[in-house]
Structure 1
Amino acid sequence: MHITLLPNEAPLTLSGPSLAQMTDDEFFDFCRQHPDLHIERTPQLTIVIMSPTGSLSSQRNAEINFQLSLWNRQQRLGRVFDSNGGFRLPDGSMRAPDAAWLTNARWDALTLEQQKKFAPLCPEFVLELASETDSIADLQAKMRDWLRNGAQLAWLVVPDTETAYIYRPGQPEPEVVQGFDNELSGETVLPGFQLRLAELR
């Protein structure tokens, strides 16, 4: 199967009995066959294929991962992952957030084989960066899925409106931070980390 999407094209969804029966290893191989695409799998085993982002979204994502990686290099408390790193979650889905972090202890508990594929766990922290073609409602639902799978802190950042949504376990609605003059605190999950939103303008 050959799949091609233009940059910033709307996501493509694939479903059907044969795709639903795909094993984790087969799905991993399917993703490797399309390295230029961002591919995820929902809890319903629907495959969601997203096009490459535009240059502006890519630059913003690089800035986010730079800030997170710089903090992590200083603290050495865990591991940072960019949007190429997928995670196999307890609900059966496979998600690849724009940025993620998990503790060293949980990463080191995985076998080398698990580390090389989609790690079978949910990161403590995830961040999703909205692009022009993303549905905010779909992303908000995805953030709630992250919490249900075990994330301790999840941020949805929407550059077009300079809005950030902060999701925490046990909190029915996210905290809304308006304006990129603000910074987001990593709280107890990422102690000492501050994401400078102004750098995303």
Structure 2
Amino acid sequence: MQAKTEATPSDRDLRLLAHDALTDDDALMLFGERIDMQVERIGGKLVVSPPMGFDGGVRENDLAYLITTWARSHGYVTTSPSANYRLPDGDAPAPDVGLVRQDRVDSMSERERKKIPSLVPDIVVELLSESQRTPSAVSIERAKCERWFKAGAHYVVLIDPFSRKTTVWGEAPVDFPDLISVFGPPPT
């Protein structure tokens, strides 16, 4: 007679981490909405970015406030870096700030809004962090931005808050704010 064993949630978590391919539901089950790291699913594997320091958190929050203020008055909904989007190739990256037109959000079911949606944000903003100042890290972020644009985002912005420069893909919407203004004057 064989003993029957039940898997505990922690056993399930370990089994999922041991597999190469994770689904959206697996990632949501593992991390839920309370993780203090950014988690993206790329090529079926989890890419975990560590939480940022205080200064980075201030930069990210100031940027999100400026964008959200604009978005609300222009018919967009904004998402934070903890919201992922499933791209046509199945990957689920998360932009630092994603903007989706309100009518697109309204067309989603309640179930779709609780999961990782199969849509590309209309506008994507990526913000370089202190740890992303190396040429190789900047190259990775540029490739991520190019990927958002090729997947269908209408406007993508990569911000380097340290040099006070932006790289853009596409055309900015009417009255879109000057995102660099959040970071003050350039260093001297």
Q: Which TM-score band (shorter chain)?
A: 0.7 to 0.9
2-structure distance, mates of 1:149, 1:29: 26
Secondary structure of 2:153's counterpart equals coil
- In structure 2, the residue matched to 1:40 is 40
Per the TM alignment, residue 33 of structure 1 is displaced from its structure 2 partner at its CA by 7.8
- In structure 2, the residue matched to 1:155 is 157
Residue identity matched to 2:27? F
CA contact (8 A) 2:41 2:91 kept: yes
Q: CA RMSD in A?
A: 2.2
How many residue pairs match? The answer is 167
Per the TM alignment, residue 109 of structure 1 is displaced from its structure 2 partner at its CA by 1.4
Residue identity matched to 1:18? H
Give the number of the structure whose residues are more often strand, by fraction. Answer: 1
2-structure distance, mates of 1:55, 1:193: 27
Match status 1:108 vs 2:99: no
1:191 to 169, 174, 179: 174
Match status 1:200 vs 2:183: yes
- Which deviates the most, 131-140 or 33-42? 33-42
Give ranges in structure 1 of 5+ residues lacking alignment. 2-15, 169-185
Per the TM alignment, residue 17 of structure 1 is displaced from its structure 2 partner at its CA by 7.4
- Equivalent residues in 2 for 1:66-105 (5 A)? 66-75=65-74, 77-105=75-103
CA contact (8 A) 2:38 2:82 kept: yes
1-structure distance, mates of 2:110, 2:78: 17
Give ranges in structure 2 of 5+ residues lacking alignment. 1-9, 11-16
CA contact (8 A) 1:41 1:48 kept: yes
Per the TM alignment, residue 30 of structure 1 is displaced from its structure 2 partner at its CA by 1.9
Secondary structure of 1:41's counterpart equals strand
1-structure distance, mates of 2:20, 2:97: 27
Per the TM alignment, residue 91 of structure 1 is displaced from its structure 2 partner at its CA by 1.5
Match status 1:28 vs 2:11: no
Evaluate the alpha carbon distance shift between residue 196 and residue 146 of structure 1 in structure 2; reply closer, same or farther with a 3 A threshold.
closer
1-structure distance, mates of 2:179, 2:146: 24
- In structure 1, the residue matched to 2:3 is none
Give the number of the structure whose residues are more often helix, by fraction. Answer: 2
2-structure distance, mates of 1:68, 1:97: 13
TM-score for the superposition, normalised by structure 1? 0.75
2-structure distance, mates of 1:198, 1:78: 21
1-structure distance, mates of 2:107, 2:33: 28
After the TM superposition, which parts of structure 1 deviate over 4 Å for at least 4 consecutive aligned residues? none
Q: Which structure is larger by alpha-carbon Rg, 1 or 2?
A: 2
CA contact (8 A) 2:165 2:180 kept: no
Identity %: 24
1-structure distance, mates of 2:123, 2:175: 14
